[in-house]
Chain A
């Protein structure tokens, strides 16, 4: 008698052996009561397993699952699939940036700012003149141009 074809018994049960293999295993089974019983036991395990009910979910879980999947699908969609995303982003950016730019402009051109800027420039010019006396060529030039 050939060696016990244990691995093939499982495949025989599933009808996954090709014809030649199946004939060899069936011939062995006809002569080997031990393997024949082994096959019946595997079939019984299989029948019992197939009869097991689906694994249970906690109460309420399945009622909420479609909603959670839907939210994940929406979050997962690329921006191109949501045409409202870019206009919304542009609108938000405008709403945030416009007041900032406007405030900066107003601060730059307000009368107070103008007076402060003029005073600052005048102070700087006077200080520069005191620090740098008129150069000799300039003085000569001024004399020659007098009538």
Chain B
């Protein structure tokens, strides 16, 4: 039964989970846990809180399975649940934000080096960018995470976080301006080089 769950398609797994099959839901958790945890950690910035959010997101998804429309993709749906929980965590009075710990930063795997920045600068820029994302106000960070890492539209973000589309637009713009400011030392030379090379 467990092997059958591992081999099943997502639609089969969701149908099984809706029918009460816990092995099927286990497999769904396995397939999405990294993505959900990552979304949560990018917003709450602490492993213990991200763990709480991740477990709670799957629990709520399981409770809502009966009304879940299988025609909708599961990934964005569960990530929206996680983002909502994460932002509530961050907003709660008892939540104390801490910067992403060094151990978590060390766990980040190496990124591809064929981006717009030179390979040498990119590693350093990544670290600066991670740090700058962590220092964004929670509301801006949640919008930025859902747009950049989950690729949600403004309308989807607005629905997920119970905001107007205009608020999403302005928060995202402010978040990007802050990140642009943090990366100014890396962007200027890179763009100048790109401009020089293209001439």
Interface positions of A from 3 to 40, Cβ below 8 Å from B:
6-7, 9-11, 14, 16, 37, 40
Contact between B129 and A70, CB atoms less than 8 A apart: no
Establish whether residues B176 and A55, one from each chain, have CB atoms under 8 Å apart when the complex forms: no
Q: With an 8 A cutoff between CB atoms, is B42 at the interface?
A: yes
For B22, the chain A residues whose CB sits under 8 A away are 70, 73-74
The proximity string for B residues 49-60 relative to A, scoring 1 for CB distances below 8 Å and 0 otherwise, is 011001100110
In the complex, the chain B residue whose C-beta lies closest to that of A10 is B173
What 0/1 readout, one digit per residue, does chain A (94-124) give for beta carbons within 8 Å of chain B?
Answer: 0000000000000000000000000000000
Where chain A touches its partner, the secondary structure class is helix
Do A48 and B30 touch (CB < 8 A)? no
Within 8 Å CB of A7, what residues of B? 169-170, 173
For chain A, the bracket of interface size reads 35 or more
- Chain B residues with Cβ below 8 Å from A65 are 29, 33, 37, 54-55
Q: Which of A6, A9, A49, A68 contacts B148 (CB 8 A)?
A: A49
Is A51 touching B172 in the complex (CB atoms < 8 A)? no
A41 to B130 CA separation, bound complex (whole angstroms): 17
Of B30, B180, B187, which one neighbours A66 at CB under 8 angstroms? B30
Asked whether any CB of chain B lies closer than 8 Å to the CB of A54, the reply is: yes
Contacts of B148 in A (CB 8 A): 46, 49-50
Closest to B100 in A: A55
Nearest to B62 among chain A residues (CB) is: A73
**What are 5 A-B contacts with C-beta separation under 8 Å?**
A14-B154, A46-B176, A55-B41, A55-B42, A72-B55
Apart from A41-B187, A55-B107: 7 A-B pairs, beta carbons within 8 A = A10-B169, A11-B154, A14-B147, A48-B117, A49-B133, A61-B51, A65-B37
